[in-house]
Amino acid sequence: MRSYSVRDVERVLRLSPDTTRALIKAGFVKPSRGARREYRFSFQDLIVLRAARALIDANIPPRRIHRALASLRRELPESLPLSGLSISAVGDRVVVREGESHRQVDNGQYLLGLDVSVHNGVLSVVEHGRAAETAGTTPPPTHDWFSQALSLESSDPEAALAAWAHAVADDPRNPAAWTNWGRLLHEQGQTQRAADVYQRALAQAGPDPLLLFNQGVLLEDLGNPAAAVAAYQSALDEDPDLADCHYNLARLYESLGKPQHAIRHLGQYRRLVSSDSR
């Protein structure tokens, strides 16, 4: 059965790594671990994560969220059916629709709408509008450059880069769009353009731990370990529990002849990995 990484969660659900970790710590999902102790999420985990975030945003009490999500997980299929899946509120019920079947998940006075599908092997989870709140109104159509960029990355990287440029133009304060744009540029060997994107991102979207982490990786590849250390340290200022950042710092400090610093960050990395596995 296919599993998904933290980066997949960011791409598909648009949840930042710190939000994902917070939902894990709250007990909404219990992902498995990969060969390198990284989180691996099932299809059901992704749906539950997105539903949890939507219910939290709707100010639903935690106990009710846990009960609703437990029921939701029991009703989800093992894998996404070809016909797709819809999870929505109908009156005071949350309903899972798989093909023509309708199943009540939990009673509730909230609205939730998630459409789940696969196109060309790419999983898509989209939250649609809250019908009861927007009845009688027609929102202006918008082009989802973020989703388009994600869907194009594997098949047409150049088109994906153009879509990421549109995505940050539409929402310059969205660090996930900037981060993905810079990452793809880096992967395509356009390192100087990636460096420029990260600098512009920090100026317009502000400090973000994953953005700063990716900038650190790029600076390492550009042969600037001192600047990479600074970027990683800034990432930890935003998220001290970013385990991979501690690992990279430990490795860098070892290469720079600073074993005490390396030991400290390696210890932090091991502590975080160990606590996450419990």
Q: Which of 130, 154, 174 is the last residue of a domain?
A: 130
Regarding whether 61 and 160 lie in a shared domain, the answer is no
Q: pLDDT by residue (tens digit) across 216-241?
A: 999 999 999 999 999 999 999 988 88
Considering only residues 184 and 133, tell me which one the structure prediction assigns the higher pLDDT. Answer: 184
Residues 6+ apart with CB under 8 A from 231: 212, 213, 215, 216, 219
Using an 8 Å Cβ cutoff, are 67 and 31 in contact? no
Residue at 138 is within a domain: no
Residue at 137 is within a domain: no
Rounded to whole angstroms, the Cα distance separating 219 from 226 reads 9
Regarding whether 124 and 160 lie in a shared domain, the answer is no
Residue at 267 is within a domain: yes
Query: Residue 116 pairs with which residues in a beta bridge?
Result: 85, 125
Regarding whether 259 and 208 lie in a shared domain, the answer is yes
Rounded to whole angstroms, the Cα distance separating 206 from 72 reads 36
Regarding whether 267 and 157 lie in a shared domain, the answer is yes
Regarding whether 163 and 123 lie in a shared domain, the answer is no
Q: What is the CATH number of the domain that holds 159?
A: 1.25.40.10
Q: What is the CATH number of the domain that holds 21?
A: 1.10.1660
Regarding whether 174 and 69 lie in a shared domain, the answer is no
Rounded to whole angstroms, the Cα distance separating 45 from 73 reads 8
Q: pLDDT by residue (tens digit) across 15-55?
A: 767 677 777 877 778 888 876 677 888 877 877 887 777 77
Residue at 119 is within a domain: yes
Regarding whether 123 and 33 lie in a shared domain, the answer is yes
Q: pLDDT by residue (tens digit) across 112-124?
A: 555 555 554 455 5
Out of 206-210, 218-222, 225-229, 262-266, pick the least confident: 206-210
- Residue 139: which pLDDT band, with cuts at 50, 70 and 90? very low
Owning domain of residue 88: 6-130
Regarding whether 125 and 41 lie in a shared domain, the answer is yes
Q: Which of 100, 130, 160 is the last residue of a domain?
A: 130
Residues 6+ apart with CB under 8 A from 135: none
Question: CA-based angle 278:243:59, to the nearest 5?
Answer: 70
Regarding whether 256 and 156 lie in a shared domain, the answer is yes
Regarding whether 196 and 83 lie in a shared domain, the answer is no
Instruction: Count up the domains in the chain and report the number.
Output: 2
Regarding whether 224 and 102 lie in a shared domain, the answer is no
Residue at 258 is within a domain: yes
Regarding whether 271 and 152 lie in a shared domain, the answer is yes
State yes or no: pLDDT of 138 exceeds 50: no
Start-to-end CA distance of the chain, whole Å, equals 23
Considering only residues 11 and 261, tell me which one the structure prediction assigns the higher pLDDT. Answer: 261
Q: Which of 97, 130, 163 is the last residue of a domain?
A: 130
